[in-house]
Amino acid sequence: MGQHDFLEAQLTHADDRVRLSKWLPPQWGEMPRVRIGGCWYNILWLIPLGFLFVVIGIPLAQELRQLQSVQSFIQRYPGQTSVPVQYVGFPLWLRVQHFLNLFFILFIIRAGIQILADHPRLYWNRDCTPGTEWFSFQHEVPADRIWTAKDDSVTLPSWFGIPGLRHSIGLARWWHFSFDLLWLLNGIAFYILLFTTHQWERIVPQTWAVFPDALSTAIQYLSLRFPVEESWIRYNGLQLLSYFITVFIAAPVAIITGLMQAPTISNRLGWFGRTLHRQAARSIHFIVLCWFLFFIFIHVTMVFVTGLLPNLNHMFAGINGSGPQGLEMFAAVLVILTVAWVVASPLTINHARTVQKAGAFFIGWLKGLAEWTDPNTQYTEKDISPHFWPDGTMPSSAEFEALAGGNFTDYRLRVDGLVEKPTVFTFAELKAMPKQEQITCHFCIQGWSGVAKWGGVPVRRILEIVKPRPEARYAVFYSFAEGGEGGRYYDVHKLENMRHHLTILAYEMNGAPVSVLHGAPLRLRCENELGFKQVKWIEAIEFVADFAHLGAGQGGYNEDHEFYGYRMPI
């Protein structure tokens, strides 16, 4: 029996569904808080603030409307900007797209908040030093023990997040990204149809009068004497601006800041990736979410209070009138949405492997394409993060303890499988090889990132020595450590990743030997993949033609047990 059969035998099969008894136990965070200056404010303050706004705003607007000057202002700017009316009503394509948009965005939002709960803190700085966040729904990081990013993740109720379980980001990402793609396609079709018909004039302001018009409409709404309603043919200034912001600013910003959180894309774009770094992108992505939530809340409220039946007739039935048709169609839509809402989480938990495979089918291949880029962003010494979150499950075997006790002088790296020259490297031999140093950013799937200087042996040097055979397509990294559910941690990389000039086996971090916490004696750096593929505590590397026979066959421990994707440049 070869050495690798022994390692392979220690890989575990995994269930195709989430077994709650093996999963991370639930942990509830705190009410979301925002830091402004040095003070933290609970977001529940928004309720009394909104109440105050209404009880002060309404009489104030009513008083204003008594003023002669305000009256003439409203007369001059009644709310409807002077848009030429070239269209009437809402065509079928627009109504169908409106429904699809509603359907997709609900899933995007639920799964997006689930993703956020995996690292429930937001920062403006590039590093993720605890205590520097501006938004959080988790307690302070305990100072008296090792606190990994996984320890930090919190549970959401499963009617809210998808699937609601703690650290279910792997599954939430499939939902988020698959629906992102559908939403993007719907959005592209929407842009095209808007601009090939006159419908764009509804939501793109064409004169500066839109601003006084918006102000006038706001005063009129707030005073509870509503402006003239003529949505069937055109929108008022306030509608125009809020639709414009949502369609032409918020949506593209959401997509850009989403993509900028990906290692490959960020590391590909040089100064842009360094400036709109992952934490800034993540914070802005969240602010766009807040805009969408605010928009949805106001939009739905206004649909109700400005004439529910005609409004629903416009957008669902496509007719101008006060009959019940629109309401009936809307009721059917609500039934569809409710059923989809209710089944999403249980379906994800009970058929996790199916969700993973369906996601890979929908979007995995597209994400994988990003591997073709050539990430090369490097940082400078002063960018090095003061705090670098640890993540993962520490090694605990007696064998590893003994090696660590001896400062790894007895450590050997075995590299074999489909190679011409299987080789066992001593630690001294590895360190005697030309050392490569790089200052790069680490992107953990959970959302945190950190810049560190890594020093080690380029993997392409190892390849030159062991010479993979032509049929070798993947490199398997076996760790000394187990994964969270037991069984050995491993991960599989494509050979192309291993040839990249920034792929190294690091034994130094920030100029000192890598600590055991961060992966001593050797840990992988592969700068176009997410953090979980950077195997720590490497025991052996095996070259294979296929990985279906390893573990549960998904290409790594997290892929098997946490339903992550195997190619993860995004």
Ligand X SMILES: Nc1nc2c(c(=O)[nH]1)N[C@H]1C(S)=C(S)[C@@H](COP(=O)(O)O)O[C@H]1N2
Among 392, 487, 521, 551, binds ligand X (CB under 6 A): 392
Beta carbon nearer to Mo ion, 307 or 484:
484
Residue 505 binding Mo ion, by CB under 5 A: no
Strand 412-417 to 538-544 pairing: parallel
Residue 205 binding ligand X, by CB under 6 A: no
Residue 526 binding Mo ion, by CB under 5 A: no
- Considering only CA atoms, which of 105, 122, 247, 231 is closest in space to residue 190? 247
Residue 444 binding ligand X, by CB under 6 A: yes
Among 174, 400, 474, 532, binds ligand X (CB under 6 A): 532
- Considering only CA atoms, which of 247, 100, 105, 117 is closest in space to residue 175? 105
- Considering only CA atoms, which of 93, 125, 564 is closest in space to residue 359? 564
Is the peptide bond preceding residue 163 cis, with omega within 30 degrees of 0?
yes
| 469 and 418 Cβ atoms separated by less than 8 Å | yes
**Which single residue brings its beta carbon nearest to Mo ion?**
444
CB of 277 to Mo ion, least distance (A): 18
Residue 483 binding Mo ion, by CB under 5 A: no
Residue 419 binding ligand X, by CB under 6 A: no
Window 446-485: contact mask with ligand X (x via CB under 6 A): ---------------------------------x-x----
Among 8, 118, 133, 391, binds Mo ion (CB under 5 A): 391
CB of 32 to Mo ion, least distance (A): 23
353 vs 25: CA distance, rounded Å: 20
Residue 568 binding ligand X, by CB under 6 A: no
Residue found by looking up tokens 């039935």 in the block: 317
CB of 324 to Mo ion, least distance (A): 52
**CB-based contacts of 187: which residues, under 8 Å, 6+ apart?**
101, 251
Residue 531 binding Mo ion, by CB under 5 A: yes
Residue 536 binding ligand X, by CB under 6 A: yes
Residue 497 binding ligand X, by CB under 6 A: no
CB of 65 to ligand X, least distance (A): 58
Beta carbon nearer to Mo ion, 326 or 531:
531
Beta carbon nearer to ligand X, 149 or 260:
149
Beta carbon nearer to ligand X, 237 or 447:
447
**CB-based contacts of 298: which residues, under 8 Å, 6+ apart?**
242
Residue 447 binding Mo ion, by CB under 5 A: no
| Sequential DSSP letters for 493-516 | EEHHHHHSTT-EEEEEETTEEPPT
Residue 518 binding ligand X, by CB under 6 A: yes
Residue 235 binding ligand X, by CB under 6 A: no
CA dihedral 352, 354, 358, 360 (to 10 degrees): 70
Among 329, 344, 444, 452, binds Mo ion (CB under 5 A): 444
435 vs 505: CA distance, rounded Å: 10
Determine whether 264 is exposed, middle or buried from the number of CB atoms within 10 Å of its CB (0-12, 13-18, 19+). Answer: buried
Residues that bind ligand X (CB under 6 A): 388-393, 444, 479, 481, 489, 518-519, 531-532, 534-537
